[in-house]
Amino acid sequence: MLKQIEGSHAVAEAVALCRPEVICAYPISPQTHIVEALGEMVKTGHLSRCEFINVESEFAAMSVAIGASAAGARAYTATASQGLLYMAEAVFNASGLGLPIVMTVANRAIGAPINIWNDHTDAMSQRDCGWIQLFAETNQEALDLHIQAFRLGEELSLPVMVCMDGFILTHAFERVDMPAQEQVDEYLPPFEPRQVLDPAEPVSIGAMVGPEAFMEVRYLAHAKQMRALELIPGWAEEFRSAFGRDTGGLMHTYRCEDAETVVVALGSVLGTVKDTVDGMRERGAQIGVLGITCFRPWPAAAVRAALARARRVIVIEKSLAVGLGGIVSTNVRTSFSGSPDAVHTVIAGLGGRAITRSSLARVFGKALEGRLEPLTFLDLDAALVERALAREREQRRSGPIAENILRDLGVVAARVG
């Protein structure tokens, strides 16, 4: 059924269609609308046979999800930003224990400086935590990915993080096609756990493992993720035939057939990238787009194949590995047959900075002319940076950087973007 609704509500409805049995939540922007809507559904009885648990922190949210999942319940939670960091220890435990929890991360920057806006730093900080990480390009894909996530996670006995851009998707009203309950029931069978805390057949979960077997347990976690790479394309195909939509999977290519230059990105920025690429195609540029849906496990072989004909790769990424550069581009370099120097990193949209067509067109144009630096910060205000550096050169007690920069910048409320 077609609906014009907020992204958060679309995700809440999709999660409800998956018949979760335990939802635990602690509010943090920009994911709050999702769990608020689910809480309302549980309270009104629209979502039955589900316990909604208000917890005192994100650490507790993940801990409750772990307990619920270990007891055989289909468990869901959502978080963002510092909330994800606060639960980090339990996040590692969930995957280490092999519990198929599904969690939405409404991507948001990490402080300091405190910032409530969108980028991918939160999800990227947990990229090696052992969860499957999927990134949604649109609200339609976000809701579809949640349905796929429960199936994928429960089949592999692994937790799945569905990442959607905070505000840009969570707070956007757009058209979504909401599946019927019967369709979801047919696609997603009831949860059959591989391990369960059952008083009738008592086991313990969470043994201490010493040097004699720790490596083997970790190897098996890796092997499971590699198995996910084999299974995901087939399941996306199955989803396509059941729901009629080509969402999910490992990745999506756009106008890549003859592309000498390929732009790689994750999440909602792909829409703006595609519009920019269409404009450049009209002027004869051989440029295409590779959207990564599945970031963990990293689809190395599929990326390598998609980039096989590319002479140049531009990675647009909403996170910064301070002291290195790009995180996504570092992954891309391992899967590119050409020279690593041909992979350019463009850090963009940090802390909610708008990523515009004109800025992207400028940076893509530079790449086509062979003038793009290895590492670029899109729309960096160089004058502002220079003032801060000058201050530090001139005085020992130069003061706090964030406060100084805001003072230099003056009033920002008059801005539109």
CB nearer another protein, residue 42 or residue 269 = 269
> Which residue number, 127 or 353, has a Cβ lying nearer to another protein?
353
Q: Does 167 bind another protein (CB under 8 A)?
A: yes
- Do 146 and 112 form a contact (C-beta atoms < 8 A)? no
Q: How far is the CB of 149 from another protein (least distance, A)?
A: 23
**Which of 265, 273, 258, 229 has the alpha carbon at shortest distance from 361?**
273
Q: CA–CA distance from 345 to each of 109, 253, 342, 415 (Å)? A: 19, 19, 10, 28
DSSP 177-235: EPPPHHHHHHHSPPP--SS--BTTB---------TTTHHHHHHHHHHHHHHHHHHHHHH
Candidates 79, 107, 261, 272: give the one binding another protein (CB under 8 A). 272
Q: Which is nearer to another protein, 160 or 270 (CB)?
A: 270
Pairwise CA distance, residues 318 & 267, whole Å: 9
The Cα–Cα gap between 412 and 46 comes to 43
Residues 314-353 that bind another protein (CB under 8 A): 352
Our finding on whether 58 is near another protein (CB under 8 A) is no
Tell me the closest approach of the beta carbon of residue 376 to another protein, in angstroms: 18
Residue 171 in contact with another protein, rule: CB under 8 A = yes
Residues 252-271 that bind another protein (CB under 8 A): 268-271
Residue 414 touching another protein (CB under 8 A) = yes
* Residue 174 sits in the site that holds another protein (CB under 8 A): yes
On the 0-12 / 13-18 / 19+ scale of CB atoms within 10 A, 404 is: middle
Q: Give dist(CA 384, CA 401) in Å, integer.
A: 11
6, 13, 119, 144: which one binds another protein (CB under 8 A)? 6
Q: Judged by CB under 8 A, which of 205, 354, 361, 405 binds another protein?
A: 354
Residues at the contact surface with another protein, assessed by CB under 8 A: 2, 4, 6, 116-118, 167-168, 171-175, 268-272, 274-275, 352, 354-357, 413-417
